[in-house]
Each structure stands twice: as structure tokens, then as C-alpha cells.
Amino acid sequence: MRMSEGVEWAAHVVLLLHWLQEDDPAPVSVARLAESYDLPAPYLGKQVQALSRAGITESVAGKHGGIRLARPADQITLMDLVAAIEGTTEAFVCTEIRQQGMNADRPARDFRRPCSIAHAMRQAELAWRRELAATTVADLSADVAHSIRQDARRHFQRA
């Protein structure tokens, strides 16, 4: 399965917002976030809108507005981020081609059991989704060196 780069961008932005909000809950502009990673602001803005629709971030209007996390980092999972950006559609959809062509004349009773290929694909996807759902932004943050978090905070203090 291939995910769009928007998932990576969203994950980094959410992680960065978490680090920044540990010290200061003030919102950050999407333009500033985009500049921090050398990303195009309009495209990052679309990812942030998807995060907002999913309740992961929230917008704050006004002169000093921007975005911030809508809930704590330990309540935001990688699955939340993937679902916000990519949607919740299953990666594999069985179209039952086994009932076509050379098997078109076989009785329906031969196909009562689910397709073993579809079953295996579904099990793999469920395992993948469970793993993403078990990993929070707080978990990710804990795996990042303290110096990297500090450098990110300093970067935003200079602005």
C-alpha cells in the first residue's frame, strides 16, 4: 500500500505542534509550519484542513491565529492521522473474480466461504491498522531526541 506524502507531512506537523504546545499553547500559522519544513503552504493547508475536519487540529482566528492540536498527543494515533488524510476506505477490495470466466458456471454453493485471498488481505490490513492505532503522537515524541525537540522550539521562538 502506498500513502500520499500528505500523511508524512501531517504527522510531522502534528508532532511539531505537540512539541510547541508543551511550552506554549499559542496557535501557529500554516505558512510558518510550511516554511519550517520547506513545504508548499497551499498544499500543507489542505492537509491541515483534513486534520481539522477529523478533530485532530483546530483553527484559531485572528491576528495571532493559526492552528493547534485539538486534543492531547496521547489521544492522537497514527491511524487517526492516516484516516484524516487518506480516508477510511479499505486498501483491498475483493471483486469476486473467482466467480467469473472459467468458474462462471459453477454453483453459488462453491463460493459460500469468503475468498481466501480477500481474507488474508483483510487480516494483514487489520494488523496494520491495529499497529497504527496503538501508536500515539506522544509515543512518537518520546522516540525523538530531546535536542531535536528543543531545536524545533528555538526555531519558532526566533520568528
List the domains of the chain with CATH numbers: 5-88+136-157 (1.10.10.10)
Residue range 56-102, pLDDT digits in tens: 999 999 888 899 999 999 999 999 999 999 999 988 999 998 899 99
C-beta neighbour count of 143 within 10 angstroms: 7
Rounded Cα gap, residues 133 and 131, in angstroms: 5
Q: What tens digit of pLDDT does each residue of 108-144 get?
A: 898 888 899 999 999 999 999 999 999 999 999 998 8
